[in-house]
Amino acid sequence: MDVLDVAADAIATGPVCDSCLGRLVADRSFGLTNAERGRSMRTALALARDDPFETPDPADCWVCEGRCTEFDEWAERAVAAVEGIEFDTYNVGTRPPPLIEENGRLLREECGLDPDAGEKFKSEFNREVGKRVGRLTETEVSFDRPHVQFTIDLDEDRIDAKVNSAFVYGRYRKLERDIPQTEWPCRECHGSGRSGREPCDHCGGTGYLYEDSVEEFVAPVVEDVMDGTESVFHGAGREDVDARMLGTGRPFVVEVEEPRRRRVDVDRLQEDVNAFADGAVEVEGLRLATHEMVERVKRLDASKRYRALVEFDDEVAPDALRAAADELEGATIEQYTPNRVDHRRANLTREREVYDVAIVDEKADVETFDDEAIPAFDPDDPHHAIVEIHGEGGLYIKELVSSDEGRTEPSLAGLLDVDARVIHLDVLSVEGEDEPFEDESYFLDSDE
């Protein structure tokens, strides 16, 4: 391909602006804009032919119909569309009129070029407007989920700015029982609070079975600080409503939609959340995270360590209890979907491993377990025991103790041949089995 021949053929088709001319050879001479390439081609051709140098009015270009004169205008419109919104990364996309794309194809055909030669109008428009947006806002372009995605529709003369979500990671401790992780709509009125014209008797007209939730203590505060429109709470699994989450806490991510603020002080945010929760829930280790952390938190297999106060219907000798615990330790447990969750879980048999089982036999060791459990626990009481269990993610602990009418095998009750049940349950730790949740690649630096 001779560049001067391409220039001559292109110019012969009618008024062609420098950008559309240079776009034909966009793969030549890295570091130039298409407009610079086009002007150089036009200049070299005039010199080679000893012709007067003439440049058509860019607005008269039959290829782009003058659109290549609008880069600055669209960049300014993009900046105006996100006024008052904090962002560090962006991207620009363009929907060009079909006629402009067809004109570009015809120009390449007239010049004897391959249909894919050079660069398409859309790519140049994205880049040139994007460069100007970056200069005006002192932000950086990103092709991997930018904070803001601009979409320019040239036919409709419209620009849309999609503000992508921001993410805050942390761990929560649930210090009170009977608090679900997320809002729990009433199953009778489906959250409406009404039964016909009357308030729903099942939920007292609130629409929810529980007044509070971990989500309601945490997500609204994060949403408010980031000035978002909505928030979504993503947890790494969930504990039972009547179980506390203690120890190292459970990983979670709050996703804030359309945030106007991203550069938040996470230490102060943590203080605000804990003050709002007022002792019912505590969060720690809050950090700004990437969107990949949501998938990691929701899908990563995690082992859990539990502490359970167990009640037996008959007396259980200490030696028999320890023997049963030893038999469970390291065992592979087969659990058919428990009765208490079969309305929301598929009916199938799951295999889960028990890593460790320990019997707590000193009252001093459980004084932080649960104030309400202390009076019921006596190391010499053959009807009660406190058991610590470390198991694979997805292991149902209550059923591991009770057998759930034989749906879990083996079980503590089955091995002891005594009916047993969990009275109080605490989760002590939730840890990733493959690698720690706190992998630095999932977090943003404080200055990002």
- Amino acid (one-letter) located at 323: A
Higher-confidence residue: 402 or 384?
402
* C-beta atoms surrounding 290 within 10 Å: 18
Give, in degrees to the nearest 5, the angle at Cα 149 between 143 and 153: 115
Stated pTM of the model: 0.88
Residue 212 is among the residues annotated as catalytic for this protein: no
> Is the bond leading into 410 cis (omega within 30 degrees of zero)?
yes
- Summarize the confidence of residues 356-364 as an average pLDDT: 78
**Residue pLDDT, tens place only, 44-85:** 999 999 999 999 999 999 999 999 999 999 999 999 999 999
386-405: burial string, b at 16+ Cβ within 10 Å, e else: bbbbbbbbebbbbbbbbbbe
**Rg for the chain (alpha carbons), in Å?**
33
Q: How confident is the model at residue 16 (pLDDT cuts 50, 70, 90)?
A: very high
Higher-confidence residue: 319 or 364?
319
pLDDT value, residue 448: 46
pLDDT value, residue 371: 53
For residue 367, is pLDDT > 50?
Answer: no
d(CA 296, CA 438): 11
Higher-confidence residue: 70 or 381?
70
pLDDT value, residue 43: 97
Structural domains for the chain: 3-163 (3.30.2300.10), 166-300 (3.30.70.2510), 302-432 (3.30.70.3190)
**Residue pLDDT, tens place only, 179-196:** 999 987 787 887 888 888
Closest CA to 108 of 19, 20, 4, 46: 20
Which residue is catalytic, options 51, 224, 240, 404? 240
For residue 204, is pLDDT > 90?
Answer: no
pLDDT value, residue 376: 54
